[in-house]
Amino acid sequence: MQKDFEEIIKKVDNYRIKYNNTFRDKIIEDMHNQISDILTDIVDYQETNDLISKLEKYVDLFLTSKIGGIILLISFLSIALWITLTGAGYISSFLSLIFERIEVFLRNILAVLKVHDLLISFLIDGVYKGVAIVVAVMLPPMAIFFPLFTFLEDLGLLPRIALNMDKIFKSVGAHGNQALTMIVGFGCNAAGVVSTRIIKSPKERLIAILTNNFMPCNGRWPLLIMISILFLVPAITNSSNPLLGSIIASLALVSSVIIGLGFTLVVSLGLSKALKSYSSFYILEIPPFRKPNLLRIIYTSIIDRTLFVLSRAVYMAIPAGIFVWIINQLNLSQTLIAFFDPFGKLFGLDGTIILAYIIALPANEIVIPALMMLYTGSKNFMEIEELQSIYQILTVYGNWDWKTGVCVMLFSILHNPCSTTILTIYRETNSLKWTVIATIMPLIIAFSTLFLVHNLVLKNIH
| Contact indicator for 449, 414 with CB cutoff of 8 Å | yes
Residue 20 vs 399, nearer CB to other proteins: 20
The total of other beta-carbon atoms located within 10 Å of residue 94's CB is 12
273 binds other proteins (CB under 8 A): no
Plot region of 447 (φ>0 → left; ψ -120 to 50 → alpha; else → beta): alpha
Plot region of 380 (φ>0 → left; ψ -120 to 50 → alpha; else → beta): beta
End-to-end CA distance of the chain: 99
Q: How far is CA 157 from the centre of its chain?
A: 20
Least distance from other proteins to the Cβ atom of residue 283, Å: 5
Which of positions 371-410 make contact with other proteins (CB under 8 A)? Answer: none
451 binds other proteins (CB under 8 A): no
Query: What is the C-alpha to C-alpha distance for residues 406 and 390, in angstroms, rounded to an integer?
Result: 17
| Contact indicator for 88, 140 with CB cutoff of 8 Å | yes
φ, ψ of residue 129 to 5 degrees: the values are -65, -35
Least distance from other proteins to the Cβ atom of residue 32, Å: 5
Q: Which amino acid is at 154?
A: D
Least distance from other proteins to the Cβ atom of residue 60, Å: 7
Q: Which of 36, 53, 241, 250 binds other proteins (CB under 8 A)?
A: 36
6 binds other proteins (CB under 8 A): no
Plot region of 292 (φ>0 → left; ψ -120 to 50 → alpha; else → beta): beta
The helix/strand/coil state of 330 is coil
Which of positions 64-103 make contact with other proteins (CB under 8 A)? Answer: 64-66, 68-70
Residue 282 vs 391, nearer CB to other proteins: 282
286 binds other proteins (CB under 8 A): yes
Q: Among the candidate windows 59-67, 209-217, 235-243, 259-267, which touches other proteins by CB under 8 A?
A: 59-67
Least distance from other proteins to the Cβ atom of residue 297, Å: 23
352 binds other proteins (CB under 8 A): no
Q: How far is CA 404 from the centre of its chain?
A: 24
Which of positions 287-316 make contact with other proteins (CB under 8 A)? Answer: 287-288
Least distance from other proteins to the Cβ atom of residue 253, Å: 24
| DSSP conformational letter for 250 | H
Residue 63 vs 248, nearer CB to other proteins: 63
Query: What is the C-alpha to C-alpha distance for residues 127 and 1, in angstroms, rounded to an integer?
Result: 78
Which of positions 122-161 make contact with other proteins (CB under 8 A)? Answer: 159
| Contact indicator for 266, 207 with CB cutoff of 8 Å | no
Q: Among the candidate windows 9-17, 82-90, 124-132, 346-354, which touches other proteins by CB under 8 A?
A: 9-17
Residue 207 vs 394, nearer CB to other proteins: 207
Q: Which of 49, 240, 279, 460 binds other proteins (CB under 8 A)?
A: 279
Q: Which of 16, 197, 273, 296 binds other proteins (CB under 8 A)?
A: 16
37 binds other proteins (CB under 8 A): no
431 binds other proteins (CB under 8 A): no
329 binds other proteins (CB under 8 A): no
Q: Among the candidate windows 32-40, 241-249, 362-370, 420-428, which touches other proteins by CB under 8 A?
A: 32-40
167 binds other proteins (CB under 8 A): yes
The helix/strand/coil state of 41 is helix
Least distance from other proteins to the Cβ atom of residue 154, Å: 17
Q: Among the candidate windows 31-39, 181-189, 230-238, 258-266, which touches other proteins by CB under 8 A?
A: 31-39
Q: Which amino acid is at 444?
A: I
The total of other beta-carbon atoms located within 10 Å of residue 167's CB is 9
Total of chain residues touching other proteins, rule CB under 8 A: 48
Q: Which of 94, 105, 278, 299 binds other proteins (CB under 8 A)?
A: 278
21 binds other proteins (CB under 8 A): yes
Residue 174 vs 382, nearer CB to other proteins: 174
Query: What is the C-alpha to C-alpha distance for residues 153 and 103, in angstroms, rounded to an integer?
Result: 39
| DSSP conformational letter for 291 | -
DSSP 304-357: IIIIHHHHHHHHHHHHHHHHHHHHHHTT-HHHHHHHHHHHHHHTT--HHHHHHH
| Contact indicator for 294, 144 with CB cutoff of 8 Å | no
Contacts of 173 (CB under 8 A, 6+ apart): 204, 207, 268, 269, 271, 272, 273, 280
Residue 69 vs 270, nearer CB to other proteins: 69
Q: CA distances (Å), 32 to each of 25, 27, 38, 131, in order?
A: 11, 9, 10, 54
Q: Which of 201, 255, 329, 439 binds other proteins (CB under 8 A)?
A: 201
Residue 202 vs 262, nearer CB to other proteins: 202
Query: What is the C-alpha to C-alpha distance for residues 62 and 69, in angstroms, rounded to an integer?
Result: 7
49 binds other proteins (CB under 8 A): no
Residues of this chain that interact with other proteins (CB under 8 A) are: 13, 16-17, 20-25, 28-29, 32-33, 36, 45, 60-61, 64-66, 68-70, 159, 163-164, 166-168, 170, 176, 200-203, 276-288
